[in-house]
Chains A and B, each alone.
Chain A
């Protein structure tokens, strides 16, 4: 009831703001929208400045033993992102000897660069950036270099500058290859000789989609598997449902593997297969492979619906701390560091396999594992 009131209030506020802006003529009405955006941007900038001031204050107050770190995060659009933020805040805590100034850039690339500049102004020891976009960074990173502040890039990549110490993140290509190699080993163990796979892709052009598709395809090509079809489900449950619904009709009885490029698509594919009377999961007709391994996804692994789930690890902070420690002791960290991803399945589906010659270990999904997942 309270929430309803709040929503009604919000609607009222919107109406009021509109009236304030639109009183003159309808032709000028788009202007308030622009103003709003500007205001928002200003707010973010103010936030940044406030954060920067805090940094300055604490720097003055502290006796210099704390290592000050500035983190310019993308925003807070998904569970994955929230987990990434929390991981950073936990690792770079005062108890661990760090002074973290965190800026949530709300997916605004200008605000993010502003945040980095304010970190420079305040003279933090290290800057961590999860770049909202991959380009346009050279000027800002040069400023960081001139100020002598090492920059560590996490998760997303910077394409037009190499003036950072390290990039720490997940490799989607490895995830795709791992799924392929696991399938190869699992099929061999189960005595399945023919693989006919259907792929439900993520949003076309996203790095996760490209890496996961290419990785799986490379194994499929090497093993001579048939990939019957690839269509995009846009990383959504509804998309997964609709694509799978169509697959069930086009390839009725012709497929035995379904690869969904994230958990939500897998949930949708399950509903569609239920309605088509297709059985899936361990011991059934169709092997269902998924990526992300979020809590809800692991629950489905536990229920015996998803055969294997391949994680994209959001917890980059511990690895970043390693990089900072290396720098503190005067060492040179590697340019590209991968955050270890985990592969999940039930005990019976765990098989030995290797990716690019590296032996992999899988984690058995139990209630404790689900509990511990972000």
Chain B
């Protein structure tokens, strides 16, 4: 009896409890829908092996779709979490930077001025590294403005928010550049039975977690976010740490851009990463992180990103018409955010405290 009580308390105090519950609730809607329609109640959760035309056998199911399609937002959310934590601001340029990195990568691979090709002009690795480098450069630009010039993050990143996509269009001569090459399609298709974007997300998350946990970087970032001045007096170069988080955010935007572009084996500058910065910021919030900086949970943000994709995929599965989908999305998001807000939390805390007090009496 006692051990059971402890487990319940451990669960209650687990900081990822609410994000996970939100994710499960969103997906549970599908069970209700399937039961109401007389389908197999678990059809949303069923994962099967599917023989494809050209990609061998792959894992197939709605859950896989969520994990696959949510990857870009999840990768962006990793970088966004660090930026939010260190600078108490958001990087709203990530969507545009994604587009720029994709355009630059495709421009290198196709050659400047070529709008459609199946032959790579340079080795694949050069194009991909070029794209990632572009992300890093954008991150450095943002980081310099925020850390060294003390410009508010939203204002500083507003510049690339509007300019990066336009530079991408410039690199691509205002056209969609098609790189119809199977080797480039890899990052957006399948690695064995698993979607490559999912694998890339997992690798990014694991490496970042290790770096944050095994080195003091995670603590530094949080400490700068909690109190910039105190950290500096304690001997941390807070400017350099804020700069670093923006560079990492740019790098992750580059990775997400290449994944998005590889999915469609082209650089669609106008549409890649469109509005995705909002999803990334929302993911950080849904993950239970404060947008005011300081303490953060990387896992929470990633769960948040997949929750957003779960909502989208669920709306597709329910057949909600495209015109109404944003309304449903908004309602669900409001509920999730409200559950996690302080007043609601405090209310439940008081409630349970009162209950306990009653029990003791």
> Do residues B171 and A249 form an inter-chain contact, with CB atoms below 8 A?
no
B104-A7 in contact (CB<8A): yes
A238 contacts the other chain (CB 8 A) = yes
Per the 8 Å Cβ criterion, residues 172-230 of B in contact with A are: 174-176, 178, 190
Which B118-151 residues sit within 8 Å CB-CB of chain A? 130, 134, 137-138, 141, 144-145, 149-151
Interface: B69 (CB within 8 A): yes
Query: Using Cβ atoms and an 8 Å threshold, which residues of chain A touch B316?
Result: 231, 242-243, 246, 250
Q: Find out whether the CB atom of B61 lies under 8 angstroms from the CB atom of A249.
A: yes
Binding site for A on B (CB under 8 A): 50-55, 58, 60-62, 65, 69, 104, 107-108, 112, 115-116, 130, 134, 137-138, 141, 144-145, 149-152, 155, 158-160, 162-163, 167, 171, 174-176, 178, 190, 260, 263-264, 266, 268, 270-272, 313, 316-317, 319, 321-323
On chain B, the residues within 8 Å of A347 by CB distance are none
B144 contacts A15, C-beta separation under 8 Å: yes
Interface of A is mostly: helix
Q: With A274-B53, A275-B55, A276-B50 in contact, do A238 and B322 touch (Cβ < 8 Å)?
A: no
Contacts of A249 in B (CB 8 A): 61-62, 65, 317
In the assembly, what is the distance between CA of A201 and CA of B69, in Å? Answer: 20
Return chain A residues, CB-CB under 8 Å to B112: 3
Task: Tell me whether A277 and B50 are in contact (CB under 8 A).
Answer: yes
CA gap between A351 and B241 in the complex, in Å:
67
On chain B, the residues within 8 Å of A232 by CB distance are 322
A306 to B134, CA, bound (A): 36
Q: Could you tell me if A33 and B317 are in contact, using CB atoms closer than 8 angstroms?
A: no
Instruction: Judge whether A196 is part of the interface by a CB distance below 8 angstroms.
Output: no
| Cβ contact of A276, chosen from B52, B104, B158, cutoff 8 A | B52
- For the complex, what is the distance from the CA of A243 to the CA of B65, rounded to whole Å? 11
Taking A14-B159, A22-B149, A26-B155 as given, write out 12 further A-B residue pairs in contact, using a Cβ cutoff of 8 Å, ordered by the A residue number.
Answer: A7-B104, A11-B138, A26-B150, A76-B174, A204-B322, A230-B321, A241-B264, A242-B69, A250-B319, A273-B53, A276-B52, A277-B52
Question: C-beta contact mask, A258-294 vs B, less than 8 Å → 1, else 0?
Answer: 0000001001100101111111000000000000000
Question: Which residue in chain B gives the minimum CB-CB distance to A17?
Answer: B159
Cβ of A30 within 8 Å of any chain B Cβ, yes or no, is yes
Contact B137 A276 (CB under 8 A): no
Q: Is the CB of A238 within 8 A of B270?
A: no
- Cα of A250 to Cα of B44 in the assembled complex, Å: 10
Q: How far is the CA of A268 from the CA of B108 in the complex (A)?
A: 23
A64-116: which have CB < 8 Å to B? 76-77, 79, 82
By a CB distance below 8 angstroms, the chain B residues around A204 are 322-323
Cβ of B158 to closest chain A Cβ, rounded Å: 7
Q: Which of A204, A229, A245, A275 has most chain B Cβ within 10 Å?
A: A275
Per DSSP, are chain B's interface residues mostly helix, strand or loop, or mixed?
A: mixed
A296 at the interface (CB under 8 A from B): yes
Name the contact of A14 in the complex, choosing from B108, B152, B163, B319 (C-beta under 8 A): B163
Contacts of B141 in A (CB 8 A): 11, 14-15
Q: How far is the CB of B98 from chain A (nearest CB, A)?
A: 12
Find out whether the CB atom of A237 lies under 8 angstroms from the CB atom of B268: yes
Q: Complex formed: what's the CA distance from A7 to B158 in Å?
A: 18
A76 to chain B, nearest CB (A): 6
Q: Which residues of A contact B178 (CB under 8 A)?
A: 296
The smallest beta-carbon distance between A22 and chain B, in angstroms, is: 6
Whether A189 is near chain B, meaning CB under 8 Å from some CB there, is: no
Complex alpha-carbon distance, A243 and B312, angstroms:
10
Distance A19 CA – B150 CA, assembled complex (angstroms): 12
State A34–B141 Cα separation when bound (angstroms).
21
| Assembled-state Cα–Cα distance A175/B61 (Å) | 35
A327 at the interface (CB under 8 A from B): no
A277 CA to B57 CA in the complex, in Å?
10
Q: How far is the CA of A239 from the CA of B316 in the complex (A)?
A: 12
Cα–Cα distance between A26 and B156 once the two chains are bound (Å): 9
Instruction: Give the chain B neighbours of A234 by CB distance below 8 A.
Output: 271
Partner among A8, A231, A250, A277 whose Cβ is within 8 Å of the Cβ of B322 = A231
20 pairs of residues in contact across A and B, judged by CB atoms under 8 Å: A7-B167, A15-B145, A19-B149, A30-B155, A77-B270, A82-B174, A229-B319, A230-B322, A232-B322, A236-B264, A241-B263, A242-B69, A250-B319, A268-B264, A273-B53, A275-B55, A276-B60, A277-B51, A277-B53, A279-B53
B300 to chain A, nearest CB (A): 25
B276 smallest CB distance to A (angstroms): 11
Q: How far is the CA of A3 from the CA of B100 in the complex (A)?
A: 13
Asked if residues B152 and A236 are in contact (CB atoms below 8 Å), the reply is: no
Which residues of chain B are near A363, meaning CB under 8 Å?
A: none
Closest CB of chain B to A4's CB: distance in Å?
7
Whether B167 lies near A79 (C-beta < 8 A) is no
Contact A33 B319 (CB under 8 A): no
Instruction: Give the Cβ gap from B256 to chain A, nearest Cβ, in Å.
Output: 13
User: Which residues on B sit within 8 Å (CB–CB) of A275?
Assistant: 50, 52, 55, 58, 60, 190
Q: What residues on A are CB-neighbors of B268 within 8 Å?
A: 236-238, 264
Query: What is the distance, in angstroms, from A330's C-beta to the closest C-beta of chain B?
Result: 41
Asked if residues B260 and A238 are in contact (CB atoms below 8 Å), the reply is: yes
A33–B163 CA distance with the chains assembled, in angstroms: 11
State A245–B107 Cα separation when bound (angstroms): 28
Any chain B CB within 8 A of the CB of A10?
A: yes
Name the interface residues of A1-41: CB closer than 8 Å to any CB of B. Answer: 3-4, 7-8, 10-11, 14-15, 18-19, 22, 26, 29-30, 33
Q: Which residues of B contact A22 (CB under 8 A)?
A: 149, 151, 155
B171–A7 touching, CB < 8 Å = yes
A359 to chain B: closest CB distance in Å? 35
Q: Residue of B at shortest CB range from A242?
A: B69
A8 to chain B, nearest CB (A): 7
List, in ascending order, chain A residues with CB within 8 A of B319's CB. Answer: 229, 231, 250
Kindly list chain B residues whose C-beta atoms are within 8 Å of the C-beta of A296: 116, 178
Say whether A10 contacts B167, CB under 8 Å.
yes
B130 close to A4 (CB less than 8 A)? yes
**Structural contact, A231 and B171, CB atoms closer than 8 A:** no
Contact A29 B152, beta carbon cutoff 8 Å: yes
**Docked pose: A82 CA to B141 CA in angstroms:** 33
CB distance from A249 to the nearest CB of B (A): 6
| Nearest Cβ on chain B to A353's Cβ, whole angstroms | 30
The docked-state distance in angstroms from the alpha carbon of A200 to that of B288 is 36
A-side contacts of B60, CB under 8 Å: 275-276
